[in-house]
Structures are given as C-alpha cells and as structure tokens.
Amino acid sequence: MRSGSLYYLTSPATKLVARAGPSNLSVRDSTNNVETFLFASSVGGVMGTITNDPLDIKTNNTNAIFIDASQKVGINETNPGAQLQINTSGVAVIGQIIKATASQEVNLTEWQDSDGNIDSKINADRGAMFGAFTDGNYTEFEADGSLKMVGDATVFKDINMGAAVLTRPAVSQPDEVNFVDEAGADTGIASLGFAVGEKVSGNFEIQHDYKEGTDLVFHIHWQGSVAPSGTDKVKWQLTYTVSQSETTLNATTTIVIETDFDTQYEFKASAFPTITGTNFNIEDQFLFTLERIAASANEYSGDAIVATVGIHYEVDTIGSRQVLAK
C-alpha cells in the first residue's frame, strides 16, 4: 500500500514499518521523530521506544502504565516521582495485590543495599521484616500480627522496686534514713539506710516480654549519707534463687559487687556480675536477699541509702502470646 504509507520490509517515511523479518514491527512519527517497536525474540516479546521518549500504555484511551525516558514507571500516573508510583486517583481500590499459591513463599517487597544484602522485606507467609535482615538483626511483624525483635534488634528493660517495700528480717535490718540534697539538707524522703551486716529480701517475677534464656543484671541505686574519708568502698552481696512452676526450688547462688564512693551526697549505681539466664522463662520468680557486707578496704562509715533495686533484662516481644507461656 503506498497511498496509506503501509510497507513491508521497506523504509517508508511515515505511519507503519515492518523490518528485519516478519516478527519485527515498528511505528514511527516522522514529524516528531518518535518510533515505537514491537517484536518477538528468543527471550520473548519486546515492546518499547527506539528514541529517547516515554512509553504510554492505555486502556479505554486512559493512561494505564506509563514509562518515562529514565525508566520510571507510573501506574495511572504520567509523571512518576519514584522508580514505581501507583496512583489510585482517589478511587477506593486496593493499590497492589500479590498472591502466592499454597506451595510458594513470596517476598512481596524486598529492599536491598548496594551490596545486595537484604535490609527489609514483606513476605506473604512470614509477615514484614525491617532492619538488617541479611545480618539477622531485624524487627518482624509476624503473620499473626505479633511483634518480634531478632538479633541486635532486641532492647533492654528494667524490673524495678523501691527499697522501702522490701522485707526486713527481725534482726540485722536497715533503719529508715532520709535522703539529703546537694547542700546536705534533709529532704524528708525516707528509704532504707544500710550499715555493714544489714539486709533485706524480696522477689521479682520474670516479665512476659523477657527473651527467654537470656542473661539478667541485678543492680542497686543508692546514696551515701555522710562525707567519705577519701575514696571509700561499699560492698554488696546478692543471694538469689529462681523458682519455676511445677518444680522444686534451686539452691541459692551468691554474687558480690564493690563500688567506690568519694563524693558526699552522690548517687551511685552498683550493677552485679551478669546472672546467666539459660533456663529462665517468663513467670519465673526471682527470690533474693540483698546485704551490705564488709568492704575489701577503706570501708565507708555512713549508711548507704538504697532508692531502688532492679533487674535489667532483654526483650524480644512486647508480651507473651499465651497467658502463662511465651
């Protein structure tokens, strides 16, 4: 056809061209110098523009898929501001659905860094994982909606108790002593002041957000009531055991911590050596006696007024999935 500029294996100036074999077809606008091609190859069907121009695929003469000259893709969007932009134009529709068969595990979305390591992903079966996934450090929204922290994504919390509510024995019990301010004035706020040999007992329940089997750190916050003679020392002893449901009580373990005290009225935090938590679970009862014992040297002469005692523990969920079990 010549009047309509339709040619086969030729090079007409306008409208329709088929070149390089029966499976290749291109359409060129000679006025604007835009050419679009469609052909089949050994790797499948190919469609696009030969010139540095966008490709616009329409349905019902309305933009459906738009690819600009820099390969940004817009769905129902002719000016994509990202590598992929989906625009529902205010219509109440779902923007994206990716469905897997029963035998598949599909990563709906996966983010990778410049080295190809997976940072985050959304998975049809497992949920959403955010963080350094390849390194094993991430926060996961599991398929049932619960939140889990994995690897270095875990955080620490503190079970804390005021010293004044701890149980005092009939003998060797600390007296009530008031905290003092920076000028040495009595605050009128009382807690327990420990001299050497005085002790208290108490217990904590292991909380439901605890990462089972991880270590604990028992610690004390306290204040010296009188001026030290130099660099004095205060030594604490913790005797503890852990009770678990449906089992007998374990034998006690004793650990100590010694802390320097050289500034009058200063608050100190004394953290005991790490307690191995290999077999600890939520709902376990941590039973303890805290005692001030003789220091190795330069004993502090005043009372050590304890504000709180507590346990630092590692968290991997925001709670437990069952009432009495993780």
Instruction: Decide: 264 and 232 in contact? Cβ < 8 Å.
Output: no
Dist. CA 306–CA 200, nearest whole Å: 11
Tell me the percentage of the chain whose pLDDT exceeds 70: 86
| Mean local confidence (pLDDT), 90-95 | 63
pLDDT for 74 beyond 60: yes
Tokens describing residue 187? 């605050």
Domain 156-315 has CATH 3.90.220.20: no
Dihedral Cα 314, 320, 321, 326, nearest 10 deg: 70
Domain range annotation of the chain: 107-150, 156-315
Three-state SS for 210?
A: strand
Give the predicted TM-score (pTM) of the model.
0.68
| Res. 19 pLDDT band, cuts 50 70 90 | low
Instruction: Decide: 120 and 131 in contact? Cβ < 8 Å.
Output: yes
* Beta carbons within 10 angstroms of residue 285's beta carbon: 14
Q: What is the pLDDT of residues 176-206, one digit of tens each?
A: 999 999 888 999 999 999 999 999 999 999 9
